[in-house]
Amino acid sequence: MAAVALEHKATNLAILDMRELVSYTDAFVLCTANNRRQVQAIADAVSVAAKRDFGIIPTGVEGLEAARWVLVDLGDIVVHVFDGPLREFYDLDGLWRDAPRLAVPEVEGAEETPLFTLP
């Protein structure tokens, strides 16, 4: 799912290992989009790829209409697609700072420009 987001030009991607912290999922994928249209495109692409490649239908997709923060619940993985200001405001990276970070896949053409830095 992280690779799909990166293929759709997501930035600031982080994969958090949530297995020891919560009971409802194994990982969070957090990423940022440049605008609302891109937020929707990334969330849609993740949903399509989950079904096509893994036979997983999202149990829920929240926020698609407003497209500022879209949550795609795939059960074992929850993908959060943010616009920049909401990513900073809600700061899930900081909230879950104790979660181990997993390796981000390398995708050709993916941007690596950070939107903001963590303290």
**What is the token pair recorded at 53?**
């490649």
Q: Which residue has the higher pLDDT, 44 or 109?
A: 44
Query: What domains are defined for the chain?
Result: 2-102 (3.30.460.10)
3-state secondary structure of 63: coil
3-state secondary structure of 25: coil
**Exposure b/e, 9-39, CB count within 10 A at least 16 = b:** bbbbbbbbebeeeeeebebbbbbbbeeeebb
Q: Residue 85, CB half-sphere, CA atoms under 13 Å: how many?
A: 4
pLDDT of residue 52: 96
What digits encode the pLDDT tens for the residues 36-90? 999 999 999 999 999 999 999 999 999 999 999 999 999 999 999 999 999 999 9
Please determine, for residue 8, whether its predicted confidence score (pLDDT) is greater than 60: yes
Rounded CA gap, 37 and 35, in Å?
A: 6
